[in-house]
């Protein structure tokens, strides 16, 4: 089922009304991503204000999600001795059938969901349609015979869409719609619902169809279209398109069915609940109480045989399955960040404030840093009107991204009105703090530098992905170009290498004007936003900055980068010792998580066991009143940026990026930062984005004079596959990036390679473009991958 955005607060209001002291805690399953962390912070604040107990469980991948379903969700079911409850999935499980993975499906038709209601907020696409149009609990008023022979019916649900009359309490799977389900999935909804209402075909039907003569086939063609329309108009629910997922275990283990339990959950096609068609034709003779005359029989139309009806049904089924296959084969993309959905819930409840708004802002900017939006931090700014007409999906995502930022800027101005006597400020960092209690959020036209207020100007520019790719910072010539830019701006190296807080005040105030004047000379047209200022409300491209009194000033980009560094690198040494915020009192790491080891090598912890403890440090760092942990983790963010620059420069200078037909490929086998990228897929993705943008800029400059260059590929970053050797585990972590918000088909390509070869691959990440390949199988895996299409 899916919840329209206009009714987003209805579900939460029903939860508050139905809650009582004996109700079980709300379970929050949260992905290890900054956007999911911010959404978790918002929901936790709302639950706390309503005195609703809740438990937060970090989830690193599908194996963790399956364990959480077995250990935490199944005991909540009424048929397991529980009393039902609510489970909220934040960035978790949108691509798979949660009913099967969490163990909600049961043979008891009268209690199909066990009273467990699952809320799903996920920015990844495509949706698993079993969650969107299925996941419906059984209505208590429905006859038991109907429950067995028909799909589940529930009052207040129409074709999977929740209506205002919907009453929660019996469980089910509810997807929060950000607008793309009701606005862009009408065709998929009709096809899915039509497949659910179709009867099953017996196994012998396919053999019978092959024996049918040509006359029957011609008869079927003459009236097949009318019958198709009739079946399609009565469709109301659906089935799921199957996507096979392999786990990387030994080849011998793959032959047994016992290995299926360890496979990644698949987007599978459920068995239809409708009645089946028998292989033998049913009698079409009239009742004995109605005599038949030869005259009436001669004028009656010829009734199609059972074989013809089966063929028509089979043809109609194939047409609907093609619609679903086309949807799933688009590849993975990202829609609206879930932190803004959570903020929309708070806004509809009338509880928006600066703390919740800041969480939404950080969540959105974190996706921009990760390259998951159409306006990545290192990419060129492309207006939707400049995109080709055939690239409508990217146009829609670009428009949605701009609308989201516009709403956040409007909310910032509404909740943080400037004092009347304050003059407008357009220089980064020039606006001072009004008082020790100033916790305001302001708009600022910062250049596209990283950690500017916590580093030197030189280091901030040197480690900027946008600047590095266009000045070619990875070689000596590029560094000289950076020095020339600074010289034209009138900034000495001694000045720009000082810590920003100690830099000359006049330089801080005039930095933006100098960049606007000289950056275009070096092709850096999008380096600084060109909005006129606050009083004109022309602030397109402006960023966000928040003050914590005289303690700190942090931009949203910097906070998103620091959160990502905590998850990728690990927290600062004193993070846990200084953690004493009340909000984290219920966030105690699960001891079983830290004890999980790799079954193939007991001396090595599972990857999730090392990643999950970082979640709690990142959660505490987001405390709205104590920025000390964010400031303490700035060195981790700087370390990550230095590692990306060192490793990326090494790959480019040594010409270790191979140019294949459909994408570029590189392998990190050594270097001082190998352990970092091999142990953290998130860090490897950031490295791939940095290298991919650098390669794309080089190729665009090389082909700038070629009129035959495809405008779509010219505007997009280069698809790149990057692998990092994990010597301890004997595997390679492999990531694929599509670039510039385009649909990423690497996940589909990886799965096709697994199905076609004997490569041992582990697919456990929620991002399907991240896999783990056995060291000995990497060459065969990449060779087969080179033949696949990877950009949608």
- Could you write out the three-class secondary structure of 39-70? HHHHHHHHHHHCCCCEEEEEECCHHHHHHHHH
* Alpha carbons 240 and 267: distance in angstroms, whole number: 6
Contact 144, 90 (CB under 8 A): no
DSSP state letter for 538: B
Q: How far, rounded to the nearest angstrom, does the alpha carbon of residue 593 sit from its chain's CA centroid?
A: 24
Q: Which domains does the chain have, with CATH numbers?
A: 2-186 (3.40.50), 657-785 (3.10.310)
- Both structure tokens of 52: 């609703």
| pTM tops 0.85 | no
Beta strands 26-31; 85-90: pairing state: parallel
Helix axes 746-756, 778-785, angle to 10 degrees: 120
Alpha helices by DSSP H, 489-626: 493-496, 505-518, 556-568, 591-595, 607-621
Residues of the chain where predicted confidence (pLDDT) is lower than 50:
140, 144-145, 147-149, 206-207, 209-298, 380-391, 424-430, 574-595, 708-715
- In the prediction, which pLDDT does 717 show? 58
DSSP string, 189-245: HHHHHHHHHSPEEPHHHHHHHHH--HHHHHHHHHHHHHHHHHHHHT-----------
Residue 43: which of 19, 63, 66, 27 has the closest Cα? 27
Pair of tokens at residue 512: 């933006």
Cβ 98 vs Cβ 118: under 8 Å: yes
pLDDT of residue 67: 94
Element (H, E) at 312: helix 306-328
Residue 706: how many CB atoms within 10 A of its CB?
Answer: 9
Query: pLDDT at position 300, please?
Result: 63
Around Cβ 310, how many Cβ atoms within 10 Å?
Answer: 24
Counting residues of the chain whose pLDDT is more than 70, the rounded percentage is: 71
DSSP label at residue 739: -
CA distance 216 to 703: 57
Beta-carbon neighbour count of residue 396 at 10 Å? 17
Which residues share a beta bridge with 598? Answer: 601
Residue 246 DSSP one-character state: -
pLDDT at 285: 37
Order of strands across the sheet that contains 770-774: 658-659, 664-668, 720-726, 731-737, 770-774, 761-762
Start-to-end CA span in the chain (Å): 27
DSSP 456: B
Residues in a beta bridge with 345? none
Quick one: pLDDT at residue 401?
81
b/e map of 720-735 (b: 16 or more CB within 10 Å)? Answer: bbbbbbbeebebbbbb
Pairing of strands 276-277, 85-90: unpaired
3-state secondary structure at position 130: helix
Token representation of residue 528 = 């600084």
Instruction: Give the DSSP letter of residue 73.
Output: I
pLDDT at 420: 64
The per-residue pLDDT for 612 is: 83
For the chain, what percentages of helix, strand and coil (3-state, to nearest 5) are there?
Answer: 45, 10, 40
Containing 174, the helix (H) or strand (E) segment is strand 172-176
Distance, CA of 569 to CA of 634 (rounded, Å): 11
CA distance 684 to 736: 10
């Amino acid at each position: 089922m899916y919840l329209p955005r206009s009714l987003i607060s209805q579900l939460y209001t029903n939860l508050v009304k139905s809650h009582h002291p004996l109700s079980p805690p709300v379970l929050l399953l949260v992905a290890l991503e900054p956007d999911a962390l911010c959404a978790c912070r918002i929901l936790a604040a709302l639950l706390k204000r309503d005195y609703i107990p809740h438990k937060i469980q970090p989830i690193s991948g599908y194996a963790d999600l399956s364990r959480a379903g077995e250990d935490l969700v199944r005991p909540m079911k009424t048929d397991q001795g529980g009393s039902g409850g609510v489970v909220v999935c934040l960035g978790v499980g949108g691509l798979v059938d949660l009913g099967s993975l969490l163990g909600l499906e049961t043979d008891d038709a009268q209690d199909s969901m066990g009273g467990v209601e699952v809320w799903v907020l996920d920015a990844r696409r495509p949706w698993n349609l079993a969650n969107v149009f299925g996941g419906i609990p059984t209505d208590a008023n429905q006859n038991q015979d109907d429950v067995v022979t028909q799909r589940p019916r529930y009052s207040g649900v129409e074709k999977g869409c929740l209506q205002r009359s919907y009453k929660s309490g019996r469980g089910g799977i509810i997807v929060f719609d950000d607008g793309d389900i009701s606005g862009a999935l009408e065709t998929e909804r009709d096809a899915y619902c039509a497949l659910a209402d179709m009867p099953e075909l017996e196994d012998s039907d396919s053999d019978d169809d092959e024996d049918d003569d040509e006359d029957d086939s011609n008869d079927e063609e003459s009236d097949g279209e009318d019958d198709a329309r009739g079946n399609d108009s009565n469709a109301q629910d659906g089935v799921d398109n199957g996507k096979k997922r392999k786990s990387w275990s030994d080849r011998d283990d793959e032959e047994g069915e016992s290995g299926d339990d360890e496979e990644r959950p698949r987007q599978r096609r459920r068995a239809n609940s409708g009645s089946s068609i028998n292989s033998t034709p049913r009698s079409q003779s009239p009742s004995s109480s109605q005599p038949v005359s030869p005259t009436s029989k001669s004028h009656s139309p010829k009734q199609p045989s059972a074989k013809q009806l089966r063929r028509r049904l089979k043809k109609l089924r194939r047409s609907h399955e093609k619609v679903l296959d086309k949807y799933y084969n688009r590849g993975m993309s990202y829609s609206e960040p879930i932190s803004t959905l959570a903020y929309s819930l708070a806004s509809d409840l009338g509880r928006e404030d600066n703390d919740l708004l800041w969480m939404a802002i950080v969540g959105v900017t974190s996706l921009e840093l990760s390259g998951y939006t159409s306006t990545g931090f290192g990419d060129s700014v492309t207006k939707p009107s400049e995109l080709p007409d055939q690239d409508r999906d990217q146009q829609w995502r670009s428009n949605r991204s701009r609308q989201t930022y516009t709403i956040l800027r409007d909310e910032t101005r509404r909740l943080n009105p400037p004092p009347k006597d304050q003059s407008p400020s357009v220089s980064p960092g020039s606006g001072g703090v009004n008082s020790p209690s100033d916790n305001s959020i302001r708009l600022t036209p910062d250049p596209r530098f990283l950690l500017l207020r916590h580093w030197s100007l030189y280091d901030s520019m040197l480690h900027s992905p946008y600047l590095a790719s266009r000045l070619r910072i990875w070689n000596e010539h590029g560094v000289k170009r950076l020095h020339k830019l600074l010289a034209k701006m009138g900034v000495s190296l001694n000045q720009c290498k000082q810590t920003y807080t100690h830099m000359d005040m006049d330089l801080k105030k005039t930095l933006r004007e100098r960049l606007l004047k000289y950056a275009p000379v070096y092709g850096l047209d999008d380096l600084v936003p060109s909005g006129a200022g606050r009083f004109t409300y022309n602030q397109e491209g402006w960023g966000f900055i928040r003050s914590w009194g005289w303690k700190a000033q942090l931009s949203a980009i910097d906070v998103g980068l620091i959160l990502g560094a905590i998850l990728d690198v690990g927290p600062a040494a004193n993070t846990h010792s200084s953690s004493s915020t009340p909000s984290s009192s219920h966030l105690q790491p699960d001891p079983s998580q830290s004890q999980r080891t790799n079954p193939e090598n007991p001396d090595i912890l599972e990857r999730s066991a090392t990643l999950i403890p970082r979640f709690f440090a990142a959660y505490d760092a987001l405390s709205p009143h104590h920025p000390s942990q964010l400031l303490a983790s700035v060195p981790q963010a700087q370390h990550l940026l230095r590692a990306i620059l060192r490793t990326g420069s090494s790959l480019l200078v040594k010409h270790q990026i191979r140019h294949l037909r459909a994408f570029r490929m590189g392998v990190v086998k050594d270097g001082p930062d190998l352990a970092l990228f091999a142990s953290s897929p998130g860090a490897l993705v950031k490295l791939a984005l940095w290298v991919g943008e650098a390669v794309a800029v080089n190729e665009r400059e090389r082909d700038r004079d070629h009129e035959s260059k495809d405008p779509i590929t010219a505007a997009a970053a280069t698809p790149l596959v990057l692998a990092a050797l994990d010597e301890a585990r004997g595997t390679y972590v492999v990531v694929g990036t599509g670039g510039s918000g385009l649909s990423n088909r690497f996940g589909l390509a990886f799965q096709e390679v697994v199905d076609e070869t004997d490569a041992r691959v582990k697919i456990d990440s929620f991002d399907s473009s991240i896999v783990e390949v056995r060291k000995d199988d990497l060459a065969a895996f990449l060779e087969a991958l080179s033949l696949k299409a990877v950009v949608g």
